[in-house]
């Protein structure tokens, strides 16, 4: 009568126990030996199936990425036209200065102010001031850039004055 297997061999708890059980010398083919091999094969299969049961591949989830792109249209700018060439001629008398012609915003458009002589020294028109264009109040607004104009101060003297850029409703 074959001797019974130790309990650790019958119920392996680790892979090393299975290796030990499989490497144990087999008795000559008998019904007990076949039973032992069937038991070990069944245990190995059960252990393998149990270890693979935890390997479940989760279905791929779709990732939805929403990117909101705010498109700010370029502001409508009513740029100043090119200067008009004018012939100033000779001064009417000594002590007169020439106020060069320049564009001025009036009403809904650019208006050319013709150059003229004035009875004072006229400084050179200052350089244009670069202004930051803010966000338009509505799509119907347009930007009128800042510009220099000749302004009469009180009496007969004048000077260059800066008119700030602004949004106008179109």
Both structure tokens of 153: 């101060």
The pLDDT, as a whole number, for residue 154 is 74
pTM of the predicted protein model: 0.56
The pLDDT, as a whole number, for residue 69 is 79
Mean per-residue pLDDT for 123-137?
Answer: 94
Q: Does residue 13 register a pLDDT over 60?
A: no
End-to-end CA distance of the chain: 111
> In sequence order, what are the beta bridge partners of 116?
99
Compute the distance between CA of residue 147 and CA of residue 170 in angstroms, rounded to an integer.
20
CB 12 within 8 Å of CB 18 = yes
Please give the DSSP secondary-structure letter assigned to residue 77.
B
Q: Does residue 73 register a pLDDT over 90?
A: no
CB 148 within 8 Å of CB 162 = yes
The pLDDT, as a whole number, for residue 148 is 97
Compute the distance between CA of residue 29 and CA of residue 31 in angstroms, rounded to an integer.
7
Q: Which residue did the predictor score with more confidence, 68 or 30?
A: 68
pLDDT, tens digit (0-9, with 9 covering 90-100), for 27-48: 555 666 666 777 667 767 666 6
Q: Does residue 9 register a pLDDT over 50?
A: no
The H or E element that residue 22 is part of is helix 15-23
């Amino acid at each position: 009568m074959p001797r019974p297997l130790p309990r650790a061999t019958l119920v392996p708890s680790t892979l090393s126990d299975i290796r030990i059980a499989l490497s144990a010398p087999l008795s000559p083919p008998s019904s007990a030996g076949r039973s032992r091999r069937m038991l070990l094969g069944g245990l190995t299969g059960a252990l393998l199936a149990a270890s693979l049961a935890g390997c479940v591949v989760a279905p791929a989830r779709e990732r939805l990425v929403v990117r909101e792109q705010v498109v700010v249209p370029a502001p409508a700018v009513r740029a100043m036209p090119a200067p008009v060439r004018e012939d100033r001629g000779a001064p009417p008398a000594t002590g007169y200065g020439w106020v060069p012609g320049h564009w001025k915003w009036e009403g809904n458009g650019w208006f050319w102010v013709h150059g003229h002589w004035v009875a004072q020294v006229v400084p050179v028109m200052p350089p244009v001031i670069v202004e930051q264009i803010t966000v338009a109040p509505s799509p119907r607004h347009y930007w009128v850039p800042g510009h220099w104009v000749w302004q009469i101060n009180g009496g007969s003297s004048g000077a260059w004055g800066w008119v700030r850029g602004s949004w106008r409703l179109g």
